[in-house]
Chain A
Amino acid sequence: MMRKTLRYALLSLGAVATTFPFVWMICTAFKTYTEAASPTLRLFPDVWQWRNFLETFDAAPFGVYFSNTFLVAGVVTGSAIVTSMMAGYAFARLRFPGRAVVFGMVLATMMIPFEVTLIPNYVLVTRFGWRDTYAALIVPWCANAFSIFLMRQAFLGLPADFFDAAKIDGCGHLRFLLWIAGPLVKPMIVTVGLFAFLGSYNSLVWPLVVTGKDTMRVVQVGLTVFSGAEGVQYNLLMCASTIVILPTVGLYFAAQRHFLEGSLGAGIKG
C-alpha cells in the first residue's frame, strides 16, 4: 500500500508540473495589465478582475468566432470520420490493384509540412472563389492521412472471419461496415473524431490566410487581436485563452471513457 501512496504522490506531482502553466494562465486572466506585466513571485492577483471577461468580449466579437469555429470543427470532424472509415476499410479489407501505391500516396501527404502546401492550396481556394467562405475553412480538411491510417489499423485489428460469417448471412461489404465493423471500432472512431476536432479547433494559420472579414473569423484568429502594436495585453489574452480552452477540455472529458478501453489498443497493435 506504500507503493500505492507513492504512486498517487508521484502522479500528483507530475500533474501539478503539467498543469502549472494553466494555473498561471487562469490567475493572469484575473489580473490587471500592470500586475500581469511586472516581475513578481505572486501567483494570485491582488483583486480578482472579473471585468476582464467583459473587456475580452468587447475587444472582438467572440460569440461570432465561437459559432464559426464550432460549425467548421463540427463539419470537419464528421466528414473526417466518414471519409477515413470508408477509406480505412477499403485499405484494410479490400483487395484491388494499386492498393499499396495509393496508400503510399496517402501517407506521402503527411511528409510535407503544411507551410509548404499553404501557397498552392491558397491559390486554388482563391481560384474557386472560396475566400471568406466556410468552404475554404472546411473542405481541405475533410479527409486527412492520419485518420485514414488510424482507421485502417483499427479495421485490421478485427478478426478476418467476421466478414466471412456476415457474408454467409447475405451481408455485403457496405452493410457490414455500417452495422457491424463500425460499431466494433467505436473507440477508434472517437479517437479520430477527437483529434480531427482538436486539429480544426486549434488551427490558426490557414483560417488567418483564407478569411478577411470579421464575421468569418475563428477563435484562434480572434486571439491575435490582443497582440497588437499597442502591446501584448497579457491579462486579456490569458482570459480569452482560458475561455477558448474550455470547450475542448469539456469535450475530452466527455469523450475519454469511450475510447480508452479495448479495441483501440488492439487496433493500434495490429
Chain B
Amino acid sequence: MFVKLAVLGVVLGCVLVFWRRLSGLVDTAVGLLDNLFERRRTGPLKDAPLAGFLLAPALAVLGVFGVAPLVLAVYLSLFEGKGLNMRFGGLVNYSRALSQEGFWDSFLVTVYYAAGTIPLCLIVSFLVANGLYRLGRGRGLFRTLYFLPYVTSVVAAATVWRVILHPHVGLVNAMLQSWGFSADALPQWLLEPNGAIHLLTGGVVSEDVGPSLALCCVILFDVWHASGFMIVILLAGLTTIPRELEEAATIDGAGPLQRAWHVTLPLISPTVFFLLIVSVIKGFQAFNSFYALTGNGRGPLDTTQNMTVYIFTNLYEYQRLGYGAAAATLLAVAIVILTLLQWRFVGRRVHYE
C-alpha cells in the first residue's frame, strides 16, 4: 500500500517538475480538441457535441450510480412482499405507506427536525459569520475553530456527545447534580421520549406534543455540526458586500441590528437562499447523526425516527424492500415539492444586483 502511495507521489512529482513542458503539450492538445468542436458549430445544435464531451464523464458516473438506482428504486416500489414472495402490486405500497401511522409519525419527526435545525443554524451562523467578518486579528484561528465540528466525522463526534449527555455518567448531568438537582430528577437527554415542551412547561403541554427531548438533542447536535459549513459560506458571501453601503447606513444613524436587518441581510440574501435550499434537501435526508446518537436511529419509543430512519429500518431490518422503496420515493417527491415551493415563494424576495 505504501508502494501505491509512493507511485502516486512520483507521478505527482513528475507533473510538478515538468509543469511548463506539460502545460504546453496540454494546451496544444486542448487546442486541437477545440478546433474539432469548432468545425461543428453550425445551426441550433452547435454547442451540442462540445456539451456532450464536457458532460460525458459526470453523466456517466451519475447516470450509473445516481440515476439508475433511483429508477430501480421506483421500479422496486411497485412490488410487495418479502424475499422470494415478491409480487407485482402496483401502487399498493404507496397507499399502505400513506395510511400507516408510522409513516406520518416519521414525517412529523422530519418536519420538527427541519424546523428546528434550519432556522437555528441559519441564525447562529449569520451572527457568527457577521462577527467573524468584522474581526481583524485571529480570523483564521477562529474560522478554523468554528469549522472544526463539520470537519469531524459524525460517528466520532456523536460518540463524544453521547457520553457527555449520558444520564448517569455524563458531564452535563454531573454538573447539574453538583448544582443541587436531585439525582432522581435529572433529564434523560437522548433517552427521553417525552416532549421537550412538556418538560419545560412542567407538564402544562401534553407530553406527545412537539419534539421529544431526545430529538431536541439530535437537533442541537446537528446545529453544532453543520453551522461550520454555513459560517464558511456566509463569510464568503459577506466579503462581497461593498463597505460603503454599511458605512452610509452607520452615518445615517442605524444601529448594528438595523444595519444587519436592512443592509447586510438583503445583500447576502442569494447566499442565504442557496443555503436554505441545500439545508432543506440535506435536512430531510439526515441519517448519520440520528443513527450515531441513538444507536439504532429510532430513539426512545421511535421519537427520533425520521423518514430516512423509517426507510432504512424497513429496508434493512425488516427486509420490506418494496415498501421501503415506496416510502423513499414519497420522500424524494416531498423534497422536490419543497424545493420548488421555496424557489417560487422565497426566491421572489431574494435581492439580486
| Cα of A23 to Cα of B37 in the assembled complex, Å | 57
A22: B residues at CB distance < 8 A: 148, 152, 160
Query: B156 — which chain A residues lie within 8 A by C-beta?
Result: 25, 223, 237, 241, 244-245
Report yes or no: A21 in contact with B164, Cβ–Cβ below 8 A. Answer: yes
B5 interface neighbour in A70, A99, A175, Cβ under 8 Å: A70
B197 within 8 Å of A by Cβ?
Answer: no
Cα–Cα distance between A257 and B143 once the two chains are bound (Å): 10
- Contact partner, B69, options A3, A64, A105, A120, Cβ 8 Å: A120
B57 contacts A83, CB within 8 Å? yes
Would A7 and B135 count as touching, CB distance under 8 A?
Answer: yes
Q: Does any Cβ of A come within 8 Å of B145's Cβ?
A: yes
Q: Are the CB atoms of A71 and B73 closer together than 8 Å?
A: no
A265 within 8 Å of B (CB atoms):
yes
Interface residues of B in 40-64 (CB under 8 A from A): 44-45, 47-48, 50-52, 54-55, 57-62, 64
The yes or no answer to B247 lying at the interface (CB within 8 A) is: no
Name A's interface SS: helix
> A19-B145, A175-B34, A270-B270 known; A112 and B70 CB under 8 Å?
yes
Whole-angstrom CA separation of A213 from B116 in the bound complex: 41
Once A96-B51, A97-B48, A105-B67 are accepted as A-B contacts, the answer to whether A268 and B61 lie under 8 Å apart by CB is no
Q: Tell me the bound Cα distance from A153 to B235 in angstroms.
A: 17
Task: Determine the main DSSP class of B at the interface with A.
Answer: helix
> Which residues does chain A contribute within 8 Å of B335, judged by CB atoms?
111
Residues of A within 8 A of B151 (CB): 198, 245, 248-249, 252
- Is A11 engaged at the interface, CB distance under 8 Å to the other chain? yes
Which residues of A have CB within 8 Å of B37? 172-174
A24-B62 in contact given A86-B57, A260-B239, A268-B236 (Cβ < 8 Å): no
Chain A residues near B33 (CB, 8 Å)? 172, 174
Q: Which residues of B contact A (CB under 8 A)?
A: 1-2, 4-5, 8, 26-27, 30-31, 33-35, 37-38, 44-45, 47-48, 50-52, 54-55, 57-62, 64-70, 72-73, 128, 131-132, 134-135, 138, 140, 142-157, 159-161, 163-164, 168-171, 174-175, 178, 224, 227-228, 232-233, 235-240, 256, 268, 270-271, 274, 278, 281, 285, 287-288, 308, 311-312, 315-316, 321, 324-325, 328, 331-332, 335-336, 352-353
